[in-house]
Amino acid sequence: MHSIEPHYRWREEYIADQDEKSPFYGRVYSEFEYTNKIYNYYIHPQWDPFGSPTMYMKIIFVDYLEGFAIIELLGEWNDCIQNDVMFLKRDVIDVLQKEEINKFILIGENILNFHAGDDCYYEEWYDDVKEENGWICFVNFREHIIEEMASINLQHFVNFDEPFTEINWRTNKPQLVFKTIENHINHPTTRYLTN
């Protein structure tokens, strides 16, 4: 796991630790010292901890004019025991929402497991963004994770599953990724940027 880095191709346009509005502003990273772990596995030092012992993140792009953020995730999402969504909502999402971010894209191809809890924080998050014509979208999550999310009806609050399981985001500019996902949400029959 230590070789999995957060996406870095957009760093010329956005760096969270240099953004005064980011919850990770001013954070200093080591390229050589591996201190953060998921269970017994060290992870790349560029990933940001946010309160969960099993899941890390990187805010890889924010556009304050368009009101969207793209966040990449790594690890195990555990709402059942750790209440990871609470840490995500309180320590990251709420900070971004105060800066008028109301559209959230969470990249989940490096999420290995999801353990469901209740849906209260998802519902709160949905209600918060809905008031501002926003949305939440989980992109490229694995099939077994989507099944677990669907088992507690998260689709009432979050966009995931088809067509968001095969978005080709890495080779495109963040604005195009955002527009593609927004088009999928607003016009569900449209297909762009799929693998």
Distance (Å) of CA 117 to CA 66, 172, 190: 32, 34, 32
Average pLDDT over residues 124-144: 96
- The pTM of the full predicted model, rounded to 2 decimals, is 0.94
When pLDDT is cut at 50, 70 and 90, the band that residue 191 belongs to is low
Is 64 inside any structural domain? yes
Helix (H) or strand (E) holding 138: strand 135-139
- Please identify which residue in the block is written with the tokens 């957009």: 10
Is 119 inside any structural domain? yes
Is 66 inside any structural domain? yes
Domain range for 150 is: 49-186
- Taking the C-alpha atoms of residue 142 and residue 175, their distance in angstroms, rounded to an integer, is 24
We report the CATH number of the domain holding residue 155 as 3.30.750.24
Is 166 inside any structural domain? yes
Is 164 inside any structural domain? yes
Is 74 inside any structural domain? yes
Instruction: Locate the DSSP E strands across 17-102.
Output: 37-38, 41-42, 55-63, 68-78
- Alpha-carbon torsion, ordered 158, 133, 131, 164, to 10 deg: 0
- Domains identified in the chain, total number: 1
Is 153 inside any structural domain? yes
Residue 192 has pLDDT above 80, yes or no: no
- Taking the C-alpha atoms of residue 109 and residue 176, their distance in angstroms, rounded to an integer, is 19
What was the pLDDT predicted at 155?
95
Closest CA relative to residue 112, chosen from 41, 18, 168, 26: 41
Is 22 inside any structural domain? no
Quick: pLDDT tens for 158-167: 999 889 998 9
- Taking the C-alpha atoms of residue 35 and residue 176, their distance in angstroms, rounded to an integer, is 35
